[in-house]
Amino acid sequence: MGDCRMKIIFSKKISASRVDETTIKEYASDVTIRDIRDDNFASFSVDISVWNCTLHPPTDITNWLFEEFPEKLGPKSKTLYDAGCFPSAIWQVLPRGDAPSTQSVTEDRQYHQQCKNSGIEESTTSSNRVQLVDQPSGMKPSEVLHYVTQRFEDDEDDSEAARVVRRQKRQERRVKEKARHAKLEERIKNLGAIKSGTSEQVRKMLLKSRCTGVKSLRMEDRVYLQVALMKGETVSEDFQYFSRQDTVARLVQSMSGDARPPQEAELLISSSDQTYRRLPLTLRLYEAIEKGWLKESDTIVIRFFTPPEQEPTTSIVEEDDTEPEDTPMTEVVEQEQERPIVVHQQEEPSSEATAALLPKELTNRLNSAIAEIDKKLKPKKKSSSAQRVRQMMMKSKAKGDAKRTPTMENRFFVELLVVEGHSANSSFVFVAKGDSLERLLKEHVKAECSAYAFNKDGTGFVKLSTEATLEVLEASNVLSCFARLVVDVSKL
């Protein structure tokens, strides 16, 4: 723990000397009061009184030495640390009945504070009186303020030169970064012409080091792409990474730059027949990857055109006749919030029809498992105040990645009911509102499962698509924040 520095002043009235004698010793923090008595006061034959002058006013601690703490172990012992003598203390020894004078106490306390603050060394003279080797040079507060305000006056002449140096360093960094990017792009282009597994892996590594984007995006959520921007006859290249949850419209909009209506843009990818096809604007990147249309480190083309003089490219899903009619890019962001959610029904049915969508055995098993949980809990009140209290409790107990979603406004809270057979477990979790249901299940369930939400009357269930995002589910009144989400992990 450290040592205690003890300064003990013996009055000249109880010593043979004509002046007060001072002893300065260092003891371990766990040394007891009895050890101090045996080391310093055992030779006195007259009655003495010991005063602790570390703090004002001084306190008489004579009883500590002879009555209260006379032992080295047990309840009648006390260490210097417990006595408040760490890291230092000042004791004064006087004849019994005398009290320390105010002047001597003040001098001792000033000496104690100077040694503590300035760290000045001490020397002991032949008379055992402690003196300071050097007195500290005092500085008035007004002088300190003066020196602080004037500390940069000598640098005013060099301020312009310093700005020039900083500007040159910034320019040099830009030139080096530009040369590095050009070198990486050249290597990526050369590796792209070589068809081998090793060169493709090296190309992916170089592509990741060259790409730029939102730095706060998690590594596992990034999709690294080589982007070719086609504006008329000019083609420029860029390297970017995007979120897997981004739509094609958002990707195109982030790369559009100065493009303005009536100019439109489309994202083209190379299809299996070596021709370029257009991706729907409402398609998300992870959906394109799952369908095999897009791969990590692919090269995509963003083409800008002006209708009606120029026509859009043929869509990649046109052969299946399943693509909805594309809308202009400027309207996609508003329409994306109204995107339909894939559930068992194609249009919103009544509560009876919704309950009938699932097999009766499955519905009964889920209801019985949830009923067992509800028996262990207190009955839920339906008042607004009770709902607010439940939401506050859910926020405090929910588990999730707080670093990824630091603000409460961006979190989506659910009560997760994991059903296995005829038993269920309940827990509170949260994810980001923009996350898909699939991500929620991967983070908090980590098993093959199916997700269900209660229908409007609470008697049946609706199976949810894991590809849908939580904010879209909430906008469609399928799953709301702070609601129950039923997950079935049974292998029946």
Mean pLDDT computed over 165-192: 78
Mean pLDDT computed over 86-112: 73
Poorest-confidence range of 22-26, 90-94, 200-204?
Answer: 200-204
Place 151 in a pLDDT band, splitting at 50, 70 and 90.
Answer: low
Structure tokens at 124: 């002991």
Whether the predicted pLDDT of 370 surpasses 60: yes
The region, left, alpha or beta by phi > 0 then psi within -120 to 50, assigned to residue 321 is left
**Is-contact 317 277, C-beta < 8 A?**
no
Mean pLDDT computed over 276-285: 86
Cβ neighbors of 419 (< 8 A, separation 6 or more) are: 365, 366, 369, 370, 486, 487, 488, 489, 490
The model's pTM: 0.34
Instruction: From residue 378, give the alpha-carbon distance in Å to each of 178, 223, 426.
Output: 64, 46, 14
Cα–Cα nearest to 223, from 211, 236, 238, 235: 211
Mean pLDDT computed over 13-26: 75
Poorest-confidence range of 244-258, 316-330, 403-417?
Answer: 316-330
pLDDT above 90 coverage of the chain, percent: 3
Specify the pLDDT at position 383.
Answer: 78
Poorest-confidence range of 40-54, 330-344, 365-379, 411-425?
Answer: 330-344
Specify the pLDDT at position 429.
Answer: 92
Whether the predicted pLDDT of 390 surpasses 80: yes
Cβ neighbors of 201 (< 8 A, separation 6 or more) are: none
- Phi, psi of 24, rounded to the nearest 5 degrees: -120, 120
Specify the pLDDT at position 260.
Answer: 60
Specify the pLDDT at position 190.
Answer: 67
Residues 201-228: pLDDT tens digits? 777 788 788 888 888 888 888 888 888 8
Specify the pLDDT at position 413.
Answer: 92
Pick 353 or 237 by higher pLDDT: 237
Specify the pLDDT at position 16.
Answer: 64
Cα–Cα nearest to 56, from 24, 3, 12, 100: 100
Residues 298-338: pLDDT tens digits? 888 888 888 777 778 888 876 544 444 444 544 544 444 44
DSSP-derived 3-state class of residue 420: strand
Q: Which amino acid is at 312?
A: P
Burial per residue of 322-355, b for 16 or more beta-carbon CB atoms within 10 angstroms, e otherwise: ebeebeebeebeeebeeeebebeeeeebeeeebb
**Spacing of C-alpha 292 from chain mean position:** 35
Specify the pLDDT at position 229.
Answer: 85
Residues 449-489: pLDDT tens digits? 888 888 776 668 888 888 888 888 888 888 889 998 999 88
**Is-contact 188 208, C-beta < 8 A?**
no
Question: What is the widest separation between alpha-carbon atoms in the chain?
Answer: 117
Cα–Cα nearest to 44, from 82, 93, 88: 93
Whether the predicted pLDDT of 89 surpasses 80: yes
Residues 48-85: pLDDT tens digits? 888 888 887 888 888 888 888 888 888 889 998 888 88
Place 354 in a pLDDT band, splitting at 50, 70 and 90.
Answer: very low
Specify the pLDDT at position 340.
Answer: 40
Mean pLDDT computed over 89-112: 72
Mean pLDDT computed over 409-433: 89
Whether the predicted pLDDT of 128 surpasses 80: no
Structure tokens at 318: 């046109």
Cβ neighbors of 130 (< 8 A, separation 6 or more) are: 7, 22, 24, 111, 122, 123, 124
Report which secondary-structure segment, H or E, holds 230: strand 222-231
Mean pLDDT computed over 26-49: 82
Whether the predicted pLDDT of 414 surpasses 70: yes
Sheet holding 88-95, edge to edge: 21-28, 3-10, 88-95, 48-52, 59-60
